[in-house]
Structure formats: C-alpha cells, structure tokens
Structure 1
Amino acid sequence: PDRPEIDVMRWIAIFLLCTAACSSPRGDEPAAEQAQQAQQAQQAQPLPAVVEAPAHDEFRRAARSSTGKLQIQLKQELSHAMGEGGAGAAVGVCSSKATELTAQVSEETGLEVRRVSIRNRNPANQASVGEAAILAAMAAQPSLADTLVVRDGQPLYMRAIRISNELCLTCHGMAEDLDPAVMAQIDEFYDGDKATGFSEGDLRGAFVVKPLTTE
C-alpha cells in the first residue's frame, strides 16, 4: 500500500526546536546531555498526522521507480569499486560517480532527483530545513520507508537511506574504527565531513524527488 503524507510543518517546528537545544550554550551542561534532551523533546511529540494523496499516485510511482533504480546503480558501483581497489576506492566513487549517476537518472526520468542528509559528506547534499524535518520523522519512525508531502500543490517524495549492513559501515561507521586508507580518502575529497559515527539501522539520509520546474 502507498505511504501516507506526513505533517511537514509540525516536523519543521520540532527540528528547529531540537537544533536550538543542541546548539545553545547551557552553562556547564555537557553537550551530550543537551543532545539527549533534544532527542527526548522530539520523541515526546505526537507522530505526524496522515493525509492520503491519491492525486499524486502517478508521481509517487515514478519517484519510487527512479530512486529504486538509482539505489541499485549506486550499490553496484560501490561494490565494484571496493572489489577493484578496496574500501578507499569507494570514497572516490561517492565523490564523483554518485553525482553523475544521480544526474543521469534525473535526465532519464524527467524528475529532479537528489540525495540529502543532515549529517552529509558532500556539501551539495545538505538537507534543507523542510527536508531535515522529514528526515527527523523518518529517524523517529524506522518503519517509514518513504513518504510524500504536498506544499503549495507541489509533491515532494522522500525515500529513506538507512545503514543496512556492514558494507555501509566501511565508510560511515565510527571514525576510530575506519580503515586509515578510508579516512585518508575522506579527508582528501571532503572538507568538514559529518557522515561517520553511524551504526547499523541508522538513518543515513534520503533520496528526494520533485517534478522538474521550467522557468
């Protein structure tokens, strides 16, 4: 069955509240304690209201198909790179090939397809405030594989990207556990990387699909 929409405005408010809680100074209160309080504040909120969106069923199907195709292609490229050059080679693939494949799928489908994250590696993949709110909802609801929201009549589809196996942790696990060759590649290709420290099952980010706009 199709996934329902989520109340994105509620989650934007929650996300901003939690961001402020994590970043505001609290005297001698440890940063970890602030983060925990922010997480508890988010979890205390009711789950988003749901609304069916039958008018966008065709868009939803196209978005699912395009992101499914991109996900398969990315996994194939990463597996091939690791087989040929080890874990460090996969970082280079993410730096170049992932962007190329994403653009290719967008061109083939006529949809705007992107990858976003709150803890991004590529600065171009930084989630917007609205996208981050949906990511927060996905992180709070592990069963939420994808969702569609409508703002001002325009649909926005997001499909969760989760750390599903040990292969993902090769480049996104705890920094102290990563192969030095992997860390060297991350430092070479990315400035200010935020995409380590994940565990299996964590939300890594999401695919985002929107209709292409012509101006």
Structure 2
Amino acid sequence: MNTKIKQKILLVCAEKIKQKGDGVQVSFYAFFANKNDDPVTLMTVARWWIEEQQLNHFEKATKIYAMVASLDDTSAYSNSTAAQHNGFNHLTLSVSNLDASLEFYGGLLGFKGEVRWNTGAYLSYGNCWLCLSLGKAKPSQDYTHFAFTYDLDAMTQIQQKTAFKAARQWQSNSSEGDSLYIEDPDGHKLELHSGSLASRLDSLKVKPYDGLEWLN
C-alpha cells in the first residue's frame, strides 16, 4: 500500500467519522471513484482488506483508520526498500482470444475471474494474480514455463474434463512431485504441480542433480 492510497484511506475515514460519528462503517470501495480507473491500486487494497486482514465487507471507519495509521516503514505495505522485495506480484500473458483464454483458465484450471475489459482480464488463484492481455501472443519456444500449485485430487478432476483432453501436453513428468504439463490456447507452457520448493530440496538431498551446490 503506497503512501498516496494510505493517506487517502486516512482522509476518507476521518471525514466519515467527522460526519457520522464513531459508529460509521466503510468498505474498501469507499476509497475509490465509481469507475475502474486504477485497477492495480484497487486490487492491492482489496487483497490487503480481504486476504491479509480478513475483514468483513463493512468495518468501522475508526478500526480501519487505526489499522492503516499503524502501517510503518517495516510493513509489507509501505514504500520501504524491503517492501519492494516482498515476493512475486503477478503474471501477465498475452493472449489472442480473450474469451477462449478465460474459458481455459477459469473453466478448466479453476481460476477466479475478477474483472474484464475490452483488452484484458484479471483472474486469481490462491495468491496468484493473473493478467490476460489481448494482443499478439508469442509463447516461448524453450523450456520457459509457468507452474501453479494444485493438489492431486484437483489435478485428477482437471484430467477428466474434455477441455484438458483437447489441450496439448508438452512433456511428461520426470521430476519430484506430481505434475501435468499443458499448453494454454496460445501455446504458453504451463505446469500444474503438487510439490513445493521444500519438497524439491528434500528430494535433492537424496538424489542431487549433477554439479549441485547448496547456496545457503
């Protein structure tokens, strides 16, 4: 959460409290205009409100004011240098047919649709934020691919869908953990994987790669 939106939230909450008293409630939409002119900031505040803080749709303005005012330079939502390295943010894929891609990622892979517009869409899956951008897709021709976490039951259900059977599988699994390797409608290489970094590192202790060196 950058300084600008933080100050706006504090200002809106203060005005609401001044006008209607300490019992007034707000939702995160109160801090934005009635048009989708800043979707990135909207998603940032929405994730903080819903996923991180697990707040109700409406909360007392006094509570929100106190929470936002307490965000300091060590917060993951501040503008500090440390906050700029807080993990993976989002993935954007160029797609040639928005409807087909929405059906693939939403209907087949179970991504949740958030918003769409003439030239794109935002979807989410757990903590993953996916942007589909309408344009000329140029999928990688090398091993570059994007992996998403699924448990074995979910992968089994996906395999039973007609859309999965129609999708191209670009390789079979030969590494630790269960994986499915498929291409999206534009040929972007995807992996559905049930393992984690921790399980992969554990497997390397038993069967290391050639020339493996531990970096920490």
TM-score category (smaller protein):
under 0.3
Higher relative contact order (CA 8 A, sep 6+): 1
Please identify which structure carries the higher strand content. 2
Q: Which one has a bigger Cα radius of gyration?
A: 2
TM-score (normalised: structure 2): 0.25
Alignment TM-score, normalising by the size of structure 1: 0.25
